[in-house]
Structure 1
Amino acid sequence: MTDITAIKQRLIDEVEARKEELIELCSSLIKIPSENPPGDSTEISEFIANYLSQYGLDTVWHESSDKMYNLISSIGGEEGKHLIYCGHTDVVPAGDLSKWDFDPFSGEVKDGWLLGRGASDMKAGLGGIIFAFALLKQLDVELPGKLTLAIVPDEETGGEFGVPWLLEKGLIKGDGALIAEPSSRLNPTIGQKGSYWFELEVFGEPGHGSLSPLAGNNAITDAIAAIEKIRTLWDLKITIPEEVQGLIEVSKKYMREIEKEREKFQPVLERITVNIGTIQGGTKSNVIPESCKVQVDCRLPFGVTRDEVTAYLKKNLDELGIRYEIRPFGFRSHANYTPADDPVCKAIVDNISFVTEEEAYGVMQWASSDARHFRDYNIPVLQYGPAYLPTIHGYNERVQVEDIVRCAKVYVAAVIDFLYQK
């Protein structure tokens, strides 16, 4: 009889013994700029493939768009269950370098922190799953199933050429998936809200500005009225389906008791959030504008669909008597989740507790990620990775070294539980 606990403890001990190698790997990933846009993943993909090859691991390259490379490597056999570990190589642009306290591509380790763009989102997590994958190979751990490492180049701009591209072409399949996206220490994300981005264009009639408001028809003022209608989406009372009410409540608990600074944000789990992101209209101050475009980001809770939101918007905007068009773009998804008792969720959550000796549980995220694509293909998935959440996509991004090590321990242990347990 296989002693699963003994195998897991051996792997955890090995991560601890080799943690300097792990941190060096994560640091090296940060040192390679892989900003998206532009999205060129050539250099970082070559680095990762070379790292894996030194342990006898073959990597298959798939170019989904110009200089965007998806990497796939697998260990284990074809019999038994199949687990996917997934991460993205791209990071958001560093922005104004003068606003950083350090070089965003230094990968420096200082006072227990790993510094740089992508440290939290998600090169520390990416390094962790690469390290865990290679460690299982180095130690020649027998797996009664298959583990696939899927590394994608395009998540930060919507992910069209990453996970959804691989899934659509049938290049990755599995019984469960873990994305090493940033999360809190004890709380992986097992569900997320839906996304509905749209552009509203309001049409007016041009005229001389000196005759406004008696002449022409001002598209900007009509757009202002339309914006007020759009913002009422927040006030809608959504009936949350019974099957996810438990997840909502435990997520509120997390926001009250763990991420206490987020307590005030609890209502976003049950409401439609509305961000008026951009507005563009008019040509000159003395010309009555004939067009105004507004881009809006709405996140949808369980219990409401994009079609229902569109119908609500059209009804309310029609009442204004304005001329307009609504054009969806960018992120589009429905609220989605993986049940907490699914084997892949249990494998990660149970091993967070095994490693930390503390209670762990899955929660909702209020944004979106590649997880939605796996669920579209009926692959149960969750997200767990090292992060200092306040710095994600901001200046001075960083992550604690101890968090990187902890997550890598969870990754190696969870593979054993998931593949060995029937």
Structure 2
Amino acid sequence: MLKLYLVHHAIIEGVLEMSIEEILLKIEGLSEEVVEICSQLIQRPSDHPEGRTDGCVEYIKDYFDGLGIDNQVYQRDEGKPNIVVRVKGASGRKILWVGHNDVVPVGEPDSWKYPPFSGTVADGKVWGRGASDMKGSNASAIIAARVLSEVGCPHDVDFWFTSDEEVGGGAGARWLADEQIFEGEVAIIGDASGCDPGMVNVGVGHKGGIGSRLVAEGKTAHGSTPYLGDNAIDKLLKVIPYVKRLSEFRLDIPTDLEPIVESTTEHMLKDDTLDDEQRKAVERLFYYPSGPSLNIFNGGVKGNVVPDRAMCRFDIRLTPGVDAAKVKERLEELVAEANVPGVTLMARAAPRVGYYEKADEPSVISLVKTVERVTGEKPPLTLLPWGTDATSIKRNLKTERHPDGIPNLLFGPMLRDQLHQSNEYVTTGNLVTAAKVYSVFPFYYE
């Protein structure tokens, strides 16, 4: 009986390996096409503040209509459609893949080596706004959906290409999750890194944040007689150094997360382009609040008018699982310590910031095996410093097996140092690797 089982198991393993080999060969044959798709998506601007995704969605729909592959558009806001491409499998179980078509603003166009919406292919890279974040990942997923439809898939896979991620997901993943339109028992979020040779990794969570801003009220006056007014900008400048001291507040990391924090730090320090100060920042990144980064400062109406109102906004990121209420309380103490009349702190902390999956979660193990099979490297488990649509999915999509939310795993072709940068690019090799991982994962998922 044991011998019969072993023979049966060997046959199944052999069939599995044949399917995987077929997939890998097909994707190698489509390596030029994934690059072209990435370039075409970049050539369809979807930058904020408009954040229109209709051009990208039209391209994706035409592509799959031409192949006869099932797809459907969902839209809440004009100009911001979302599209799902459905691959049918044999088991009745469903995997969810999620990426976003919208991108951040270009910034100063003259600072770009190539026009930001050219999708130029040069030096083994695809250049343009959104190449890494995250039209490259979308291109890889498009190829994966095509290949799985042709080869056959053990499970259903819904590939979602959404809008509005860069502004909170209001018309995109957050809406789709809130309305229970998303379906699946595990999610792969493509808004991540993981493909670079020597730097492969599997993301199992990411940071959350505390929304915080300072508002100062003063009294206006003529700029030639400032002593008759009360300068609101001066008030903010007195309080800001106190807020910055939040970076000294040590976080209490959950015990089961400590090994993943350590492996993330070790992984990030492998980047030999970091200087000494950057390395110190990486070593602190998950043990203390990141920042607070002063990213917006508004105040003043005219060069000869003392401002009577000013506002600044901070980006404060926290390691998942920490007590955000304690951090908010410390922030309030620091502002009170500054003791500047007329300055108000506005801060909010959700009960749970960010999220993480446990290392022994079966889907985590499946993705690790997939990445190792495709790349030949065993990937460490990591956390992302930024946020993704995973938080909306985790909050809304629950199953009997996962009552606190389905697992959300993070893997993609993006380059961490390219996010929101001028001269953004993604490497062509990473596009191919990501397409392979997205295609092979359903065969390892149990």
Q: Does 1:393 align with 2:409?
A: no
* Pair 118,217 (structure 1): closer, same or farther in 2 beyond 3 Å: closer
Residue 298 of structure 2 aligns to a residue in which SS? strand
Match of residue 213 from structure 2 = 199
Instruction: Please report how far the alpha carbon of residue 46 of structure 1 lies from its aligned counterpart in structure 2 after TM superposition.
Output: 1.0
* Pair 68,174 (structure 1): closer, same or farther in 2 beyond 3 Å: same
Q: Does 1:338 align with 2:357?
A: yes
* Pair 362,311 (structure 1): closer, same or farther in 2 beyond 3 Å: same
Instruction: Please report how far the alpha carbon of residue 109 of structure 1 lies from its aligned counterpart in structure 2 after TM superposition.
Output: 2.1
1:63-74 to structure 2, matched below 5 A, reads: 63-74=75-86
Instruction: Please report how far the alpha carbon of residue 172 of structure 1 lies from its aligned counterpart in structure 2 after TM superposition.
Output: 0.7
Equivalent residues of 1:193, 1:300 under 8 A apart: yes
Match of residue 271 from structure 1 = 288
Match of residue 443 from structure 2 = 416
Residue 271 of structure 1 aligns to a residue in which SS? coil
The range that moved more, 90-99 or 160-169, is: 90-99
Match of residue 138 from structure 2 = 126
User: What's the % identity of the aligned pairs?
Assistant: 28
Instruction: Please report how far the alpha carbon of residue 216 of structure 1 lies from its aligned counterpart in structure 2 after TM superposition.
Output: 4.7
State how far apart, in whole Å, the 2-side matches of 1:338 and 1:324 are.
39
Q: CA-atom RMSD, angstroms?
A: 2.5
Equivalent residues of 1:70, 1:150 under 8 A apart: yes
* Aligned mate of 2:344, from 294, 317, 325: 325
State how far apart, in whole Å, the 2-side matches of 1:51 and 1:202 are.
52
* Pair 56,98 (structure 1): closer, same or farther in 2 beyond 3 Å: same
1:189-268 to structure 2, matched below 5 A, reads: 189-207=203-221, 215-258=228-271, 261=274, 263-264=279-280, 265-268=282-285
Match of residue 4 from structure 2 = none
Match of residue 49 from structure 1 = 61
Match of residue 410 from structure 2 = 383
Match of residue 327 from structure 2 = 309
* Pair 332,182 (structure 1): closer, same or farther in 2 beyond 3 Å: farther
Instruction: Please report how far the alpha carbon of residue 299 of structure 1 lies from its aligned counterpart in structure 2 after TM superposition.
Output: 0.8
* Pair 415,32 (structure 1): closer, same or farther in 2 beyond 3 Å: same
Residue 269 of structure 1 aligns to a residue in which SS? coil
State how far apart, in whole Å, the 1-side matches of 2:299 and 2:108 are.
27
TM-score by length of 1: 0.91
1:333-367 per-residue CA deviation (whole Å, 9 max, x = no partner) reads: 70311223323322322111111111212211112
User: Letter of the aligned partner of 2:246 in structure 1?
Assistant: L
Residue 189 of structure 1 aligns to a residue in which SS? strand
State how far apart, in whole Å, the 2-side matches of 1:255 and 1:142 are.
34
User: Letter of the aligned partner of 1:389 in structure 2?
Assistant: R
* Pair 35,285 (structure 1): closer, same or farther in 2 beyond 3 Å: closer
* Pair 289,238 (structure 1): closer, same or farther in 2 beyond 3 Å: same
Equivalent residues of 1:194, 1:332 under 8 A apart: no
Match of residue 352 from structure 1 = 371
Instruction: Please report how far the alpha carbon of residue 251 of structure 1 lies from its aligned counterpart in structure 2 after TM superposition.
Output: 0.8
Residue 117 of structure 2 aligns to a residue in which SS? coil
Match of residue 22 from structure 1 = 34
Residue 341 of structure 1 aligns to a residue in which SS? coil
Residue 95 of structure 1 aligns to a residue in which SS? coil
Aligned length: 416
1:358-398 per-residue CA deviation (whole Å, 9 max, x = no partner) reads: 12122111121112222223121122111333232212211
State how far apart, in whole Å, the 2-side matches of 1:379 and 1:73 are.
20
Equivalent residues of 1:190, 1:381 under 8 A apart: yes
Equivalent residues of 1:197, 1:331 under 8 A apart: no
TM-score by length of 2: 0.86
Segments of structure 1 that go 5 or more residues without pairing to the other structure are: none
Match of residue 180 from structure 2 = 170
State how far apart, in whole Å, the 1-side matches of 2:254 and 2:323 are.
13
State how far apart, in whole Å, the 1-side matches of 2:305 and 2:135 are.
49
Equivalent residues of 1:158, 1:331 under 8 A apart: no
Equivalent residues of 1:348, 1:411 under 8 A apart: no
